Amino acid sequence: MGNRGNPIKKIYSKFLLIGAHLFEMRVLYPINSVFAWAYSEILPIVIENILKIRFHLSEIKVLARHSSKERVGFNIFLSDLDLSLILGQRDISKCKDIIQFLSQLRRVVIFLGEVEIYSPEEYAKLESCLSLNGALYNSLRTIRKIRWIEADLEKSLSTYHKYKALRSISICFQKLGYTGYAALVAGNLKNLTGVISALLKPYMESGGLAGNALSINELAIDEKLLSSGVPVDYFQCVLINESAAENPYGLCLRGDLALTLISLTPLVHFHSNELDKLVSLKRASNMPLAQAWQSICEIEYLILSGVIRGSATEQEWMTPSLIAVKNAYAAATS
């Protein structure tokens, strides 16, 4: 969303951009650190007490998420305060009123970001799953976030929001082990082949399929598949063979890596019975992969439930996505 028609927004956007550049200076890092600490340790407690009093809540815990908690790449002019709210069973029914109040509060506290809402049981389950497969899930989610940001960059953004988006991609690469990565407007996923290979290495042995260098063309048996590769909904991109035609949103992987990645993630539209059989065989013959897939499906279902509960307005993708993840989780645990 650009600011071309609004001079006040244009000036404000320019102010934010100057501030963002200014606070990237090393000499101002200590100030960023102080604000990151306040975001993660002080403000959640303040918001928790405001909500507790305002809505007479019997049980509530407010926790910071993402950059304010991790302190990675925190910048006063760029970072939001994303929150997880843990509400007691008796208070879950007040979600809509709480979200409406937080939406109004966001007009004053402009850095207040996304909110997820969980019951204590859901959050405990989420923490348990993340303790087992959190590193893998967070890496996959970071890769997916890069594609999400690229989708935003396709829109008409202000200079400030474009800078913020490109910087977020660079931070994603930093979390994946790259330092000093110069983010691209599109095509960043192609530079992650090495990271994905290392990430999938523990899950590559799978009986008869181990080391079988299937090409994407061999996987893409059904003509409904894109000629350049296999669509992977989880990453909103396509898997393409290293020798395939250029695709700006592709992950360039060998067939065996592609099959492992597809088998590990939920929300994949196979469009092919043959590919479905290969994925089922891969999971059946590889217990570590099957267990990781089950855990990832459960994490995804819990987080998406929290996202939907914490959204002021339900987007059209939300319910179908939740159903799809729930079905994937049911398949994973059957």
323 vs 54: CA distance, rounded Å: 33
What pLDDT does residue 282 have?
A: 87
**Whole-angstrom Cα Rg for the chain:** 21
What pLDDT does residue 243 have?
A: 55
What percentage of the chain reaches a pLDDT higher than 90? 50
What does each C-alpha distance from 318 to 112, 258, 313 come to in angstroms? 22, 27, 10
What does each C-alpha distance from 102 to 57, 85, 312 come to in angstroms? 15, 12, 9
What size, in residues, is the chain? 334
What pLDDT does residue 101 have?
A: 96
Average pLDDT over residues 147-161: 88
Q: Give burial (CB, 10 Å; 0-12/13-18/19+) of 9.
A: middle
DSSP string, 101-113: HHHHHTTTSTTEE
What pLDDT does residue 83 have?
A: 95
What pLDDT does residue 221 have?
A: 34
User: Confidence band (pLDDT; 50, 70, 90) for 223?
Assistant: very low
Between 81 and 333, whose confidence is greater? 81
Average pLDDT over residues 231-249: 68
Mean pLDDT of the chain: 83
Average pLDDT over residues 239-249: 63
What pLDDT does residue 332 have?
A: 77
Q: Tokens 């996505």 label which residue?
A: 321
DSSP string, 233-293: GGGTEEEE-TTSPP-TTEEE--HHHHHHHHHHSSS-----HHHHHHHHHHHHT-HHHHHHH
The whole model's pTM is what?
0.85
Between 151 and 98, whose confidence is greater? 98
Average pLDDT over residues 219-238: 56
Segment 273-317, tens digit of pLDDT: 677 777 888 888 899 999 999 999 999 999 999 999 998 777 777
